[in-house]
Every structure is written in C-alpha cells, then in structure tokens.
Amino acid sequence: MLPFIRDNYDSVLLSQYKTQNLRVGDIILFIYSDNLKKLCLHRIIKLDGKIIITMGDSCTCYDNPIIREQIIAIVEKIYRGKLTINCDSKFWRAIFFIWLYLLPIRRTLIRLYYCIAKNKSKICRWKDDCIST
C-alpha cells in the first residue's frame, strides 16, 4: 500500500467488517485466496453489486474481484510516527482519489518515490555538509 502505508513502519487501526456501507477509496483487509492462507490489505477501486474490485496503492493493475464475504475488516486510521491519518477525513479521501486518478503515471511516480527514499540519507548528509561549511 505504499506510499500511504509503508511496510514495517506504519500501523493501522482496523474495525471489524459487519455490514457497513463500503465506499470506493476504503482500505479493507480481506481473504485473497480460496485456501484461506492469504490476507490482503488493499483499497476499493470499484463496487459493482456484490463484486468488489481492489488494488494496492503501489500497484498498476486491479486485483481479482472479491465478494463481501471475503472482507474481514476496514482500516479506520493509519499511524505513521506521530501522524495519525483518519481514513474518513475529507482531506485524506481527496488525496486517495487524486492518487487513484494518477493511475496512468503511477508507475513513474512510484519509481521516483523509491529513488528519493533510497537517496534521502545521501541528500541529508550532503545538505548537512553544505550547511556546516
């Protein structure tokens, strides 16, 4: 779910899925395979009756369709250090939708994100060296 949820760094608050209304943009935890061995945390991209289409934020293609019975929980909040992201806030929902509409150039944006993240420590060291001299 990068860039919105980062592995081994961010955490999420889940609420048990009962029969809540689902919306495009919601992040859900669901059983991805028939053998019950794989759980997945992805964003809802399309709702079509009983069929739900999901996709990870760093993915460039949709997942296989799922049904409501496969959903276990809904993400309410994302915790990133001292920052708490409320997934229902209008601001963050707008950010999520902008990201959704950037799908045609998402692969390039993700590569740029990885490049910046990889070189961040080098950039910070360079900046510190420049400031101290």
pLDDT tens by residue, 47-68? 998 899 999 988 888 999 999 9
The stretch 26-39 carries a mean pLDDT of 85
CB 27, CB 52: distance < 8 Å: no
The stretch 112-122 carries a mean pLDDT of 76
pLDDT tens, residue by residue, 58-98: 888 899 999 999 999 999 999 998 999 999 999 999 998 99
Topology (CATH level 3) of domain 11-101: Umud Fragment, subunit A (2.10.109)
pLDDT band at 121 (very low <50, low <70, confident <90, very high): low
Per-residue model confidence (pLDDT) at position 132: 46
CB 115, CB 5: distance < 8 Å: no
Query: In 49-128, which ranges are E strands?
Result: 51-55, 66-67, 71-80, 83-86
What are the domain boundaries of the chain?
11-101, 105-133
